[in-house]
Structure 1
Amino acid sequence: MLIIGELINTSRKKIREAVEARDAAYIQQVAKDQEAAGANYLDVNCGNMVGQELEIMKWLVETIQQVTSMPLCIDSPDESVLKVGLSLLKPGYQPMINSLSAEQKRYNAVIHLVKEFKARIVALCIEDAGMPKTAEDRLRIATGLVQSLENDGIPQNDIYLDPLIKPLSTNDYYGVEVLNAIRLLKAKFPEVHFTCGLSNISYGLPNRGVLNRLFVVQTMTVGMDGYILNPTDKAMMGMVYASQALLGQDKYCTKYLKAHRKGLYVM
């Protein structure tokens, strides 16, 4: 299971305020809190800081790495910002890029960075024609993506497919479509991994935490093995640890028990 901590993102009001004030201590505490909570990677995203993104990405990466050696996932729609962030990473771990897609312009802009930095890659199931509507659409787009990445020398084990979760509030079948897509993709590409922005499923609905936590359980059951989420949400992490144990992904329940002793989750 790969947990990518989502909190260092300037779309979040407190993070943006800290960045604008260059409050390094606040950013560093958020990084340390996510590490302590069990994140495997920290996502670093300042994509909404138009005209300042490159400078801020540099500051964020340098600031975070002063207090943690956690692997970072560099997240930007701008190829030049991705390169700056990746070039500043300390050696010793495999970086991650968020993201590329089947859109030809985006794919071509990012693939050389994946190869140059030997990075893991989040691959979105989006094509030039737009976003997928059905599980079959996702399978078709993902098949093309995986084949293209393999042709470019990227092993399946470094690919994290994002099946694109859409809000249940706009279509009551969007949750089922994602579950069906994961089943199909896992059957076709057993070595490929998955990740997603899980909380999209509950957008626009009340009691979002309930939907998010239950969708974690459902998606893990059909093969999802990575999430971009808030690891300091102890109720959410409780679902992750419990599901791993119940699905036979945690030998002797070691991770579950260790997390319990550390107080990393609540049920």
Structure 2
Amino acid sequence: MFEVIGERINTTLKKVQAAVIERDAEHIKADVKKQEACGASYIDVNAGARIGHEKEDMAWLLEIIQEVTELPLCLDSPDPEVLEMAYTMVTKTPMVNSISLEKNRFEAMIPFLKGKDCKIIALCMDDSGMPKSADDIINRAKDIVGELEAIGVKRENIYVDPLIQPMSVDKDNGNMVMDAVQAIMTDLEGVHTTGGLSNISYGLPQRKIINRIFLAMMMKVGFNSAIMDPLDTEIMAVMKTTEMIKGCDNYCMNYLKAVRAGNIKA
């Protein structure tokens, strides 16, 4: 089934950062409960916006979030020390967002990753910058999956992020990432794919309609997870409907349940 990584607990968002500064636990708890109710599979937790406070902010967030949900968490930080602390606090097998092929970043993460029971978002990013073609994405995916498997990470725990880039920058960015995802899901059997879905619409008007159509097209080529807002009822309706049309919903039960609950309507 498609996995939704709820993106809303992120201190780059003004309301979240204000709640963290003020230690407004009820604001955070209410948002997490809404994400779970709307169908999130994971709750992404990012406390990196306040320089010098990430570790304490992450610890506070993890403590209060786990008071109101049993969903697994996605620990979102580039700092191995913060991740090490966070890993000791979680009660369910977490996801780590994210690891890249950039030499210094990858080498710094190896001691943290070895022996850990966790899922990993693996970015198709290396020291040369953003990928410029589908082949570039595919080759980087193969490289980072190989590197992670070499240190003992199971393939089924790897979520390759092909780095969705805006259509406003290049008209071929949509096709590039769709071609790459289709090849990755074929050539690297057992891995998952995920990424920041809304990147595709950056800089364009009416972003939500772009995101919804793009999600359906990405799911058709094998995309099986996304970092997105589960409170967007329309995109969640697209996700459930696409799963049904793809044949991933026996007897259309999940689709029918969502329709009866009023979550899918014309």
Same fold by TM-score greater than 0.5: yes
Quick one: distance in 2 between partners of 1:143 and 1:208?
A: 31
Shift of 1:32: 0.5
Q: Which residue of 1 aligns with 2:231?
A: 232
- Give the 3-state SS of the residue equivalent to 2:68 in structure 1: coil
Any conservation in 1 of the 2:121–2:194 contact (CA below 8 Å)? Answer: yes
2:41 corresponds to 1:31: no
Shift of 1:201: 0.5
RMSD: 1.2
Moved more, 54-63 or 254-263: 254-263
- Give the 3-state SS of the residue equivalent to 2:189 in structure 1: coil
Shift of 1:226: 0.2
Q: Which residue of 1 aligns with 2:207?
A: 208
- Give the 3-state SS of the residue equivalent to 2:10 in structure 1: coil
Q: Which residue of 2 aligns with 1:57?
A: 58
Q: Which residue of 2 aligns with 1:40?
A: 41
Quick one: distance in 2 between partners of 1:82 and 1:207?
A: 36
Shift of 1:123: 0.2
- Give the 3-state SS of the residue equivalent to 1:132 in structure 2: coil
Quick one: distance in 2 between partners of 1:264 and 1:43?
A: 23
Q: CA 1:133–1:59 in structure 2 vs 1: closer, same or farther (change >3 Å)?
A: same
Shift of 1:110: 2.2
Matching of residues 51-90 of structure 1 within 5 Å: 51-90=52-91
Quick one: distance in 1 between partners of 2:50 and 2:172?
A: 34
Q: CA 1:259–1:117 in structure 2 vs 1: closer, same or farther (change >3 Å)?
A: farther
Any conservation in 2 of the 1:100–1:122 contact (CA below 8 Å)? Answer: yes
Matched AA of 1:123: A
TM-score normalised by length of structure 2 = 0.96
Which runs of 5 or more structure 2 residues have no equivalent in the other structure? none
Quick one: distance in 1 between partners of 2:109 and 2:262?
A: 39
Quick one: distance in 2 between partners of 1:189 and 1:206?
A: 35
- Give the 3-state SS of the residue equivalent to 1:8 in structure 2: strand
Quick one: distance in 2 between partners of 1:173 and 1:222?
A: 16
Shift of 1:266: 4.4
Would you identify which runs of 4 or more consecutive aligned residues in structure 1 move more than 4 Å?
none
Matching of residues 25-174 of structure 1 within 5 Å: 25-90=26-91, 93-174=92-173
Shift of 1:85: 1.4
Quick one: distance in 1 between partners of 2:265 and 2:67?
A: 30
Aligned length, in residue pairs: 265
- Give the 3-state SS of the residue equivalent to 1:44 in structure 2: strand
Shift of 1:265: 4.1
- Give the 3-state SS of the residue equivalent to 1:7 in structure 2: strand
Any conservation in 2 of the 1:124–1:164 contact (CA below 8 Å)? Answer: yes
Quick one: distance in 2 between partners of 1:74 and 1:197?
A: 15
Deviations 1:171-223 (A, max 9, x none): 11111100111111112012110001000000110000010000000100000
Q: Which residue of 2 aligns with 1:263?
A: 262
Shift of 1:256: 1.4
Shift of 1:109: 2.1
Quick one: distance in 1 between partners of 2:20 and 2:137?
A: 36
Shift of 1:71: 0.5
Matched AA of 1:122: I
Shift of 1:87: 1.2
Any conservation in 1 of the 2:44–2:73 contact (CA below 8 Å)? Answer: yes
Quick one: distance in 2 between partners of 1:252 and 1:117?
A: 38
Any conservation in 1 of the 2:115–2:152 contact (CA below 8 Å)? Answer: no
Any conservation in 2 of the 1:167–1:174 contact (CA below 8 Å)? Answer: yes
Matching of residues 237-248 of structure 1 within 5 Å: 237-248=236-247
Deviations 1:205-246 (A, max 9, x none): 000001000000010000000000000110000000000000
Matched AA of 1:182: V
Quick one: distance in 1 between partners of 2:58 and 2:229?
A: 20
Q: Which residue of 2 aligns with 1:199?
A: 198
Quick one: distance in 1 between partners of 2:234 and 2:55?
A: 35
Any conservation in 2 of the 1:31–1:64 contact (CA below 8 Å)? Answer: yes
